[in-house]
Structure 1
Amino acid sequence: MTERDYLPAMGRHSLLFLYDPCTRLAGVGRLHDELLDRAAVRPGHRVLEIGCGTGNLVLRLARRTPGAEVLGTDPDPAALRRGRRKAARRGLPVSFELAFADDLPVPDASVDRVLSSYMLHHLDGPDKPRAMEEIRRVLRPGGELHLVDAHSTGGRAHPRLADNAPDRIVGLMRDAGLDAAENGRGHRRGALGHYVFYRGSSTGHG
């Protein structure tokens, strides 16, 4: 993987040690459970998470669905090391690989589910369409992207959230060739602010 800049999980590399306690306090586990309920992963599915951080979502998935092949990717080697240690301690068969969302380390049409949790707003504007195109590339026909992310409700939003409006995300998914929609009960609010669930499906590769 070529060396590139990226926004780490807590905004600064030095704050990575706070990532797991902060996500626990924010109740992110409940949000992950809902995302996994929506993804409906089955044994035998190959699942990839983009921007997995320290691995909380993929470890939860491996515990819930034995027999799924689970891979977490992230550009932060320190976060991946933490994820590998947690997987080893818990005896969970999760793989972790260093990768950016627009350059995934898997073949074309080889993944049944792509997951993304609070990652998309970390990407700069031009990187988002490339990431969606890469997701489309790796999904098998009938495969699905399940994504949850923050969004702005107006006012003086952070620039990363201003570019993360629901219409924008759905448009990016559709431009990449995914059948896409918001899903769930609309815009919701939690400890991390307003968020939306999205689903995109691949109808084939041509």
Structure 2
Amino acid sequence: MAELSSQEREYLPGVGKHYLLPFYDVLHRVSGLGAVHREMIEAAGLSAGHRVLDVGCGTGNLLRTTGKRYGGVELFGVDPDLKMLARAERKMRRAGLRATLDRGFAQELAFPDASFDRVFSSLMLHHLDGPSKGEMLAEVRRVLKPGGLLVLSDIAHHGHGHAAKGISEAGFTVEPTRTRTLRMFGDVGIEVAKVH
């Protein structure tokens, strides 16, 4: 069976259905996800000059918060949803921030090897099936520089469990999971993982 290209892959929109996009940022505010994003940014240990990629960046909330806090980092985001990316571009522009935002899929990141210091992913992993999760983690490992960090949050209920085992199997050293409870999402695990 031939591999699917970026243009042919199916994906699940951030809130499950395209018509729910207007509620994405409302859900972000109401759930308290901003606090998880701030903890992820803190855990990333960012410095001026770092290149940061957000895989499944949605409407750019995590990138915008990162850029506001660390003006000297280069911001990149990928998401398969063009409508999400259009919102992210508007939000970054209104905040006076620059980011390179591209349509793309987590399983086939269009970046050279060892091109990022940090990779973020927030509440996206559970959208992928088992093989796609492995592909995404392999791609993240590939684009991270030696010693680079993956900082990932994902839901930890409805049978999904924490992502730490899969991340470790992909060749990362994983810190103990930090668990936070969010309104409407339940438990969310924050994983900090370093490239061997």
**Residues 119 and 71 of structure 1: CA distance in aligned 2, closer, same or farther (over 3 Å):** same
The answer for the alignment partner of 1:22 in structure 2 is 27
**Is 1:179–2:184 an aligned residue pair?**
no
The answer for the alignment partner of 2:192 in structure 1 is 199
Distance 1:66 1:12 in 2: 34
Aligned CA RMSD, in angstroms, stands at: 1.2
Match of 1:140 among 139, 145, 164: 145
The answer for the alignment partner of 1:32 in structure 2 is 37
Amino acid at match of 1:49: D
CA shift for structure 1 position 60: 0.7
Distance 1:131 1:82 in 2: 24
> With structure 1 as the length reference, what TM-score do the two structures score?
0.88
2:164, 2:177 within 8 Å by CA — same for their partners in 1?
A: no
Distance 1:136 1:69 in 2: 19
Number of aligned pairs?
190
1:70, 1:94 within 8 Å by CA — same for their partners in 2?
A: yes
Q: Which sits farther off after the overlay, 187-196 or 44-53? A: 187-196
Distance 2:195 2:17 in 1: 35
- SS of equivalent to 1:197: strand
Match of 1:43 among 44, 48, 51: 48
What is the identity percentage for the equivalent residue pairs of Structure 1 and Structure 2? 42
Mapping for residues 49-68 of structure 1, pairs under 5 Å: 49-68=54-73
Superposed structure 1 runs of 4+ greater than 6 Å apart = none
- SS of equivalent to 2:151: strand
The answer for the alignment partner of 1:189 in structure 2 is 181
Amino acid at match of 2:173: D
Q: Which stretches in structure 2 are left out of the alignment for 5+ residues?
A: 1-5
**Is 1:165–2:161 an aligned residue pair?**
yes
1:182, 1:196 within 8 Å by CA — same for their partners in 2?
A: no
Distance 1:144 1:121 in 2: 20
- SS of equivalent to 1:116: strand
2:33, 2:182 within 8 Å by CA — same for their partners in 1?
A: no
The answer for the alignment partner of 2:3 in structure 1 is none
Q: Summarize deviations over 1:165-193 as a string: whole Å, max 9, x none.
A: 12xx2222122211123333xx3322121
Distance 1:66 1:148 in 2: 23
Distance 2:67 2:131 in 1: 32
